[in-house]
Amino acid sequence: MFFIAIASDSKNHLKELSGKFGYTFPLVSDRGARIAKKFDVYTFGSAIDIIYLKTKLAIPSTFLIGKEMKIAWRYIGTREDRPSIKLLTEQIDKKL
């Protein structure tokens, strides 16, 4: 099993975040939401999200994808509401 983060942010911004928070896992930039579209992880984001990304992608959203390449768990938050590391690890243990 491995863990990566995929975000709509630029590579430079993800590099800054990785350094700031000490992330030890890869962060992948999905600027055009191509990966998100392949997994059909759309929800109705805010109007600013739709204008910015030109898509109905929830920002932020967290998805755990299993070996079968299917979504095993999802967390749709707000700009201030993100899943904790504890919650993520609990869900990884339960769902994957």
Phi, psi of 71 (to 5 degrees): -70, 125
Q: What residue ranges do the domains of the chain occupy?
A: 5-95
pLDDT tens, position by position, 17-26: 888 888 888 9
Phi, psi of 79 (to 5 degrees): -60, -25
Per the prediction, the chain carries an average pLDDT of 80
Q: Please tell me what DSSP assigns to residue 43.
A: -
The CATH homologous superfamily of the domain defined by 5-95: Glutaredoxin (3.40.30.10)
pLDDT tens, position by position, 69-94: 888 998 877 767 778 888 988 999 99
pLDDT tens, position by position, 31-67: 877 888 888 776 555 555 555 555 566 567 788 988 8
Phi, psi of 47 (to 5 degrees): -60, -40
Distance spanning both ends of the chain, measured CA to CA = 9
Q: How confident is the model at residue 12 (pLDDT cuts 50, 70, 90)?
A: very high
